[in-house]
A and B are shown apart, each in its own frame.
Chain A
Amino acid sequence: MISGLDRKLLRDLRRLKGQSVAVALVMGCGLAMMIMARSLIHSLESTRFEYYESHRFADLFVHLERAPLAVAERAARIPGVAAVQASIAVHVTLDLPGVDEPASGQLHSLPDRGAPELNRLFLRAGRWLAPGSRGEVLVGEAFAAANRLRPGDRLAMLVNGRRQTFQIAGVVLSPEFIFESRPGVPLPDSRTYGTFWMFYGELAAAFDLDGAFDCLALALAPGAAERPVIDAVDRLLIPFGGRGAFGRGDHPSHIRVTDEIRVLRIMSIGFPLVFLSVAAFMTNAVLTRLLILQREQIAVLKAFGFTNRQIAIHYLKFALVMVAGGTLLGGLGGVAIGHRIVDVYTLFFRFPELAFRLDRSALLWAVGVSAAAATAGVFVAVRRAARLPPAVAMRPEPPADYRPAWLERTGLGRLLSHTFRIAARNLERQPIQALFTVAGLALATGILIVPNAFRHGIEEVLDYQWDVVERQEIEIGLVEPAEIGVRHLLRQLPGVTAIEPVRNVYVRMHHGHRRRQVGIQGLPEGGAHVRMLDAASRRMELPRQGLVLSAKLADALDARVGGELVVEALDGRRRIRSVPLAGLAEDFTGVTAYMEIGALNRLLGEGDMISGATFTVDESQRGAFLRALKEIPAVGWVAIKDSLRDAFRRTTAASIGFIQRIYLVFATVVAFGVVYNNARISLAERARELATLRVVGFSRREVGAVLVTELVLLALVAVPLGLLLGAGFASVIISAVNTETVRLPLVLTARNYAFAVLVVTLSSVLSLLFVLRNLNRLDLVGALKAPE
């Protein structure tokens, strides 16, 4: 049976339903974020772990020129190595019917017999390669989906310069390519880049690699350390053109998923923190007000022998009911949003099956954290109520001690209206309550800034950065580095208006104990295509000597401008040189090192070479240009800025955009919740006072003006503070979620600030209208009759 006190609880809650719902909603927003993020972390981590385990994802990877298969057996005997898989991976260009731009990809070998030791494939559609067959390939799902390829379709590839047509046997997934993008390019463009597999025998024959391999994957024995094995593998493979072994930490697909998990981790802590603090504020405001109104009731309960504990628990239950409501809303919301985000993930993460898995511990956390926040919010108020001696509680609160507001004391008083005086004095008499309202409004304003900062950051990347920073339209990579003279030939292609040479080289960069495997981009001095911006968005010139690093990379290496980095070329002569760090560039995708092309070539000691070029092309001849590229076997890959931008819009921007929209809804809920709550409370607390004003002859309009004046005064303080706070939130959150894959610039526009002010103003006006409507229904006689 429901106890009398609980019945009172239910009735009181019903009376306070608007405010209770507001609190539960705000809490729910924070919890939804937390449950969603923690569940997605759980989903991604567990799915990836299971996928890696079941399909034997390797721990170390290395590319080399070529080595006999016997070398792989020697690698297997290195202490700490549990298994190896030698294979061939080669670059191919594709000829897709009806597509102007050349597509390219990587073709991997599969053992002629049996499944590979490591990095096993998952068959999504069709069948495996038929034993002994020729002319069959398996296609990675991302490319197949983007180009609508199905098992049985035919695919034309330029294999080692020879055009061959293959039949697609099946569509597959690989734990190596959960995130599939061209090596060195952080953004995916599945339409023009794909991954393919065929039997070793057929591939080796085509590339004259019989009995040899150019790609090695290794699994570590349980407990084996990575670094010594990498060093041993490198020593073994250097004579065979080994390009430096690297672990999962340098594996592009692995990094990408890890980055996503890292972002989720920040979201699972940072965002709920803000929302739950606001909710705690609101719970406190609601309960404090309730306790003041129920002073006499508390006294009666105590007079009749209810203990302090019983009373404290009774009022704590108020908070806990809101917590329960918030948790329910948060749980449902979190699960719903999580499902949607998983759908977005499947656009660029390729798992055999990525399902939303609810992290049950997150629900417990949600209850715990929000209960703690609510309890913290009401603790002081409840304790004060419980401590009230019953006889004191029975007497009404002594009349508040009012005095002229400081504004009046400055001598301006004569100029002020009565309405203004009442409002100002009231605020000054209750500084704590005023402070809470200001804090709540400021928080609401502040969190409204964040989602649009994200949106404007994306717009900035899409429009400004890609047009201002990267002026080229098309970039190509050559199969092998070539003499710089080749650019004159490329200049002759149809429609070329400008061409600049590029030298890309894969290196291992050391600074102290830290090291990373990255590409250095050699660019011409004073080049117009690829530009670098410094932290203040000023254009940077490439120094004659030394490196410019992505700021994020310098961060990862813990390197500072002026310091020395050790650069170990993983190609060609494999020179090791010390190079000064000359500057930091603020770029937004991937991490890169930049160097003047001449300086880079001198460093490599291989003469004036280029590995690719950037172009601007006459729009009208673009088709002809791309078709011509298709005919040049030396061109390994082509990156078209517009299609990269398009892919970015569809994947990364879409996922950030989706979260941003949710966040915007949440921020708006908080803004409305805070203002509404505040207006309700001030109406309830002041009912007698306002009724008295009406009784002594104030008009409705004049009485309403008191409340409006109060809110306007508070808003005048709160909103500017909130804008500052919002700038802080945005800067902290954006820099926290910036990853090596994608970084957003912090863009704070007047439009963004105006939007926040608009939403807060709008919610304030709506809340006020509501309150004014209630004011009209004020029972003048009843309000005055209440005991005091």
Chain B
Amino acid sequence: MNSDFNSPDSSPVLRARGLAKIYGEGEAAVRALAGVDLDLYAGELVVLLGPSGSGKTTLLNSLGGLDVPTSGELRYRDFELTGADEGRLTQYRRDCVGFVFQFYNLIPSLTARENVALITEIARDPMPPETALELVRLGARMDHFPAELSGGEQQRVAIARAIAKRPEMLLCDEPTGALDVRTGVAVLEAIEHVNRELGTLTVIITHNAVMADIADRVIHLSDGRVHQVRQNPRRAPVHSLHW
């Protein structure tokens, strides 16, 4: 594990300054992000904590190039995300970011292996889909359709799909939100395992404070702002979690 990822001389992978996002106009306008300053470093595991409505998902979508902030500055290494056109954002997502969603969002008509292969086909330097599925310990169920897998297994397929292209950054939006504790732990283990094995910068959104212990850093968000950043002295093992 890289111990000096937040040392002043190592430059951040992702850098946000004054990031704001407003939905709607006039009286109906909703301020989802109200000026977020944030640096994310290579290889770290970050947990973004906050109550619902605090802007977690909006921030994650902005970081991942799914959504365009209304104002502020967002830079991925040398690439300016704010103001980038749709084509460049697509390229950014294709090359640099892996997503894991709360509801897995697998293509139901494709098997686990095919869901992963779908993404590796368009990636620059992917790992074989089988390797990705082994990484999340799903080697035995590769040829099952999503409907034949449990929720936890589906989420692990989603993780495999996200990491198979070896992204520099893995963004997980409430990855255990739809799961019970036991399967939730298994999914977190998979994410943690990937982070450790591949050194992928990993951001997990959750409103479950218990998960903060497995992170290198914990960022608290409320009312669209970074409220607090906490450095864990050491990461707790995932299997020790209870909620």
Majority secondary structure of chain A interface residues (helix, strand, loop or mixed): helix
Q: Do the beta carbons of A4 and B121 come within 8 Å of each other?
A: yes
B68-106 vs A, CB cutoff 8 Å, 1 = contact: the mask equals 100000000000000000110011111101110101011
List the B side residues contacting A391 at CB < 8 Å.
61, 66-67
Chain B residues with CB below 8 A from A303, complex form: 64, 66, 93, 97, 99
- In the assembled complex, the Cα of A5 lies from the Cα of B119 at a distance in Å of 9
Cβ-defined partner of B103 (8 Å) among A3, A15, A310, A787: A787
Contact among B66, B95, B107, B110 for A394, CB-based, below 8 A: B66
Q: Does A8 contact B (CB under 8 A)?
A: yes
**One of B61, B86, B93 near A304 (C-beta < 8 A):** B93
Contact B114 A4 (CB under 8 A): yes
Q: Does B169 contact A (CB under 8 A)?
A: no
- Establish whether residues A389 and B67, one from each chain, have CB atoms under 8 Å apart when the complex forms: yes
Q: How far is the CB of B64 from chain A (nearest CB, A)?
A: 7
Query: Are A307 and B90 touching (Cβ within 8 A)?
Result: yes
Partner of A297, one of B87, B94, B105, B122: B105
Is there a chain B Cβ closer than 8 Å to A256's Cβ? no
Chain A neighbourhood of B161, CB < 8 A: 304
A297 lies within 8 A of B107 (CB): yes
Smallest Cβ distance from A712 to chain B, in angstroms?
33
Please, how many angstroms separate the alpha-carbon atoms of A12 and B109 in the complex? 6
Report Cα–Cα, A15/B118, bound state, in Å: 19
How distant is B13 from chain A, measured CB to nearest CB, in Å? 18
Q: Is the CB–CB distance between B105 and A394 below 8 Å?
A: yes
For B119, the chain A residues whose CB sits under 8 A away are 4, 304-305
Q: B221 within 8 Å of A by Cβ?
A: no
| Given known A308-B86, A389-B66, A391-B67, contact A7–B105 (CB-CB < 8 A) | no
> Beyond A300-B101, A306-B122, A394-B66, is A8–B90 a contact (Cβ under 8 Å)?
no
Residues of A near B49 (CB, < 8 A) are none
B117 interfacial contact with A, CB 8 Å: yes
Check if B107 sits within 8 Å of A300, measured CB to CB.
Answer: yes
Contacts of B92 in A (CB 8 A): 305
Residues on A with C-beta less than 8 A from B162 are: 304
Return the chain B residue nearest A13 by Cβ.
B109
Kindly report which residue of chain A lies nearest to residue B92, judged by CB atoms. A305
Give chain B's interface secondary structure class. Answer: mixed
Residue A144 at the chain B interface, CB threshold 8 Å: no
When chains A and B are docked, how far (Å) is the Cα of A420 from the Cα of B119?
46
Is the pair A11, B94 in contact by a Cβ cutoff of 8 Å?
no
Interface pair B107/A302, CB less than 8 Å apart? no
Q: How far is the CA of A306 from the CA of B95 in the complex (A)?
A: 11
A299 interfacial by beta-carbon distance below 8 Å: yes
Q: Within the assembled complex, what's the spacing in Å between the Cα atoms of A303 and B66? A: 6
**A394 & B101 in contact (Cβ 8 Å cutoff):** yes
Cβ contacts under 8 Å, A300 to chain B: 99, 101, 105-107
- Partner of B94 from the list A8, A12, A296, A305 (CB cut-off 8 Å) is A305
Q: Is the CB of B66 within 8 A of A11?
A: no
The residues in B between 32 and 81 inclusive whose CB is less than 8 angstroms from any CB of A are 61, 64, 66-68
- Cβ of A583 under 8 Å from chain B: no
> Which residues of chain B come closer than 8 Å to A5, judged between CB atoms?
118
The verdict on A242 contacting chain B, using a C-beta distance below 8 Å, is: no
CA distance A297 to B68 in the complex (A): 20
Once bound together, how far apart are the Cα atoms of A493 and B63, in whole Å? 107
**CB of A170 within 8 Å of the partner chain:** no
Q: Which residue of B lies closest to A11 (CB)?
A: B109
Chain A residues lying within 8 Å of B64, measured Cβ to Cβ, are 303
Whole-angstrom CA separation of A307 from B93 in the bound complex: 10
Interface string of B204-221 (1 = CB under 8 A from A): 000000000000000000
What residues of A have a CB within 8 angstroms of the CB of B109 in the complex? 8, 11-12, 15
* Chain A contacts for B67, CB-based, 8 A: 389-391
Contact mask for chain A residues 421-447; partner B; CB cutoff 8 A; 1 contact, 0 none = 000000000000000000000000000
Q: Could you list 30 examples of A-B contacts with CB < 8 Å?
A: A3-B121, A4-B110, A4-B114, A5-B118, A7-B110, A15-B109, A297-B105, A300-B99, A300-B107, A302-B66, A302-B93, A303-B64, A303-B93, A303-B99, A304-B99, A304-B119, A304-B122, A305-B91, A305-B93, A305-B94, A305-B122, A305-B123, A306-B90, A308-B86, A389-B66, A389-B67, A389-B68, A390-B67, A391-B67, A394-B66
Q: Which 8 pairs across A and B sit closest by C-beta, in order of nearness? A: A305-B94, A4-B118, A11-B109, A787-B103, A391-B67, A391-B66, A391-B61, A305-B93
13 additional A-B residue pairs with CB within 8 Å, beyond A305-B95, A310-B122, A391-B66 = A4-B110, A4-B117, A8-B109, A8-B118, A297-B108, A300-B105, A300-B106, A303-B97, A307-B90, A308-B86, A389-B67, A391-B61, A787-B105
